[in-house]
A and B are shown apart, each in its own frame.
Chain A
Amino acid sequence: MTSVQDLPPQDVQRGGMQPPAQGGAEPPVETAPPLRGLRQTGFASTVAALLRKELLLELRTLESVPGMSLFAVSTFVVFHFALNRNSVEGDLAAGILWVTLLFAAMLGVNRLFVADADQGGFDAFLLAPVDRSAMFVAKALALLAYLVVLELVAVAAFALLLLGSPLGPALPGLLVTLALGDIGVAVIGTLVAALAVRTRARDLLGPLLALPLFVPIVIGGARATSPLLVASHPAWPALRWLLTLGLYDLVFGLIAFALFDFLLED
């Protein structure tokens, strides 16, 4: 397991070399090697370092994404037998897709902070002179990346196995809706994962807390997607649902970002 302090120093200090547009409020300063680790690093560079750690870990251990994808495909098979249908369209198709994505996402959410909690990653992070909310942004972005990969597999499998209408024309609208929904799932999933990971019943509390919070995302996502998954359909999902999703993402993104700090101090 790599922690922030194990990463090569130039990664952690990258903020000092970047132009101001990326590096937060800090002017670009040449960092002399003896000053490493003594000054506050920029927010963006912290996020970048943490995100890189997350993605590296995931690539090396492959513990979340393949499991999530496999779970999604298996769920489609289960739905085929449970609903006794060869192909689905419209409301049913949107429902199956969103429910499957949600439950597969819960698998990833459950695993999100487990390594940090069990192996001291929180303590190492708290010792570093960085803005603590950077961990929230990094973890949410990592979860978002996992969800994107999940959806590549799941939507393809869905189109292959169960979807009755052609996917191609519906794809742009579907992708936009999925993107907005993914942001919401990532934000809420990260917050709930952080809440649940250091409690006693972490595997139970995570889904229990997250599912009601996901309901508006399901409402917006499914309602936006269902007209797209029929043979003759409008090219674009209704704006109302996209706005709902966007508003939800914004509000909860801000709230989770503000509250995350309080979960880490110990």
Chain B
Amino acid sequence: MIAITLAELPALPLHTAGKYVAGAYIVLFALVLVYVAIMAIRLSRIERELGELLACAREGELSAGPGELSAGPSERTAAAGGTQPGGLGQDDVAQPESTLA
């Protein structure tokens, strides 16, 4: 039965048709994966920003007190914000992780 059906195929021989079908499904897969990649980049950016903000918040607490939030953190992030987050020290990166635990 299948042999008869296969013998009747007019559009393309099976081995060639397989390439087109695979191509179509790969297109779909690729679109979804590209989207995943874009999301991954965004997620890492958000994580970095949150890390900076947490460091900044801790700065604000360690300095004079809750009333003087504006001066210390804005200077600190003005220096660190222009450069990339690699500017944050190792212990700064480690501490947010412990608070998120």
A and B touch in the complex (CB under 8 A): no
* Interfacial residues, chain A to chain B (CB-CB below 8 A): none
